């Protein structure tokens, strides 16, 4: 099974506010993305490839509402809270926090957890509290994964090493996997490898040899779980990534990296056509 994930981050913000949205008004942004892609995605065998799109919270309802009958798209959220409602228990006292049951009730079927931007945020909060335990973030993410899976969501769990951690990447990734997946039904989880050290302007992305090394390591460490390249699947690297046997897909974010930077549905479809070979 191949997996093509789309992380739409905060690409809904209009350009006049410093964002990159040039495709649709805020009110119709989520529905526009689904409507502009789901018809073509139907041509791919759902037993061979899955498509999940992770939307900012304001767009979950319109994105779900735009799904056609037998849509190949899974609408996902960008993270969930580590606790949730329960019959006979907490019935909703989670002000400011988005729980897995809440997004499940909306109609979401997936969640992205542990993205490097989420890890950085959590690490910063813990640092303000004086917490120096490097595994504290992994334990919090484990609680989020458990909550998501309990609610019936599938999970894309992101792992990756920073430039400061690169010389001990095996140790870092192993801890992220062991702690993050503790007690988790792994059949509901796909791993995304983010080379955090290579993400950003002017950075050099990992080559095929490095990606193969990481994919092999993750499969060996997890008992052959599916793993995708989370450093940015794009037209330029789609054929190369498709040729790496130990990689089972990729995570798309931006589709255009120069000029009118941003996400564009037709370019997203072109990345998929290139990756899938048609």
Whole-angstrom distance, CA of residue 157 vs CA of residue 8: 16
Q: Considering just the CA atoms, what is the radius of gyration of the chain in Å?
A: 18
Question: Can you give the pLDDT at residue 33?
Answer: 98
Q: Where residue 116 falls among pLDDT bands split at 50, 70, 90?
A: very high
As given in the structure block, the two tokens for residue 270 are 């072109």
Range 7-19 average pLDDT: 97
Clarify whether 209 is annotated catalytic.
Answer: no
What percent of the chain lies above the pLDDT cut of 70? 100
Query: Which domains are delineated in the chain?
Result: 2-276 (3.20.20.70)
Clarify whether 194 is annotated catalytic.
Answer: yes
Q: Where residue 51 falls among pLDDT bands split at 50, 70, 90?
A: very high
Range 230-243 average pLDDT: 97
The three-state secondary structure class of 17 is helix
CB 21 within 8 A of CB 29: yes
Range 205-212 average pLDDT: 96
CA atoms within 13 A on the CB side of 147: 25
Q: 3, 59, 115, 161: which one is catalytic?
A: 115
Range 247-274 average pLDDT: 97
Q: 50, 144, 161, 194: which one is catalytic?
A: 194
CA atoms within 13 A on the CB side of 245: 2
According to DSSP, the β-strands at 2-7 and 110-113 are unpaired
């Amino acid at each position: 099974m191949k997996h093509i994930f789309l992380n739409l981050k905060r690409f809904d913000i209009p350009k006049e506010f410093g964002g990159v949205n040039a495709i649709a008004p805020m009110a119709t942004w989520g529905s526009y993305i689904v409507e502009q892609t789901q018809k073509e995605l139907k041509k791919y065998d759902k037993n061979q490839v899955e498509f999940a799109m992770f939307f900012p919270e304001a767009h979950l309802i319109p994105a779900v509402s735009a799904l056609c009958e037998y849509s190949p798209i899974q609408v996902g959220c960008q993270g969930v809270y580590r606790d949730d409602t329960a019959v006979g228990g907490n019935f909703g006292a989670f002000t400011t926090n988005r729980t897995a049951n809440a997004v499940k009730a909306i109609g979401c079927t997936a969640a992205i957890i542990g993205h490097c931007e989420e890890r950085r945020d959590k690490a910063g909060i813990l640092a303000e509290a004086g917490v120096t335990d490097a595994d504290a973030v992994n334990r919090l993410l484990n609680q989020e994964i458990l909550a998501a899976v309990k609610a019936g969501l599938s999970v894309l769990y992101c792992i990756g090493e920073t430039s400061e951690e690169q010389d001990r990447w095996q140790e870092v990734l192993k801890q992220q996997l062991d702690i993050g997946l503790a007690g988790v039904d792994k059949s509901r989880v796909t791993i995304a490898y983010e080379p955090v050290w290579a993400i950003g302007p002017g950075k050099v992305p990992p080559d095929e040899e490095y990606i193969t090394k990481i994919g092999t390591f993750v499969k060996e460490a997890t008992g052959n779980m599916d793993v995708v390249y989370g450093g940015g699947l794009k037209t330029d690297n789609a054929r190369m990534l498709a040729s790496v046997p130990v990689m089972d897909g990729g995570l798309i974010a931006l589709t255009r990296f120069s000029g009118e930077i941003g996400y564009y549905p037709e370019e997203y479809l072109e990345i998929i056509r290139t990756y899938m070979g048609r």
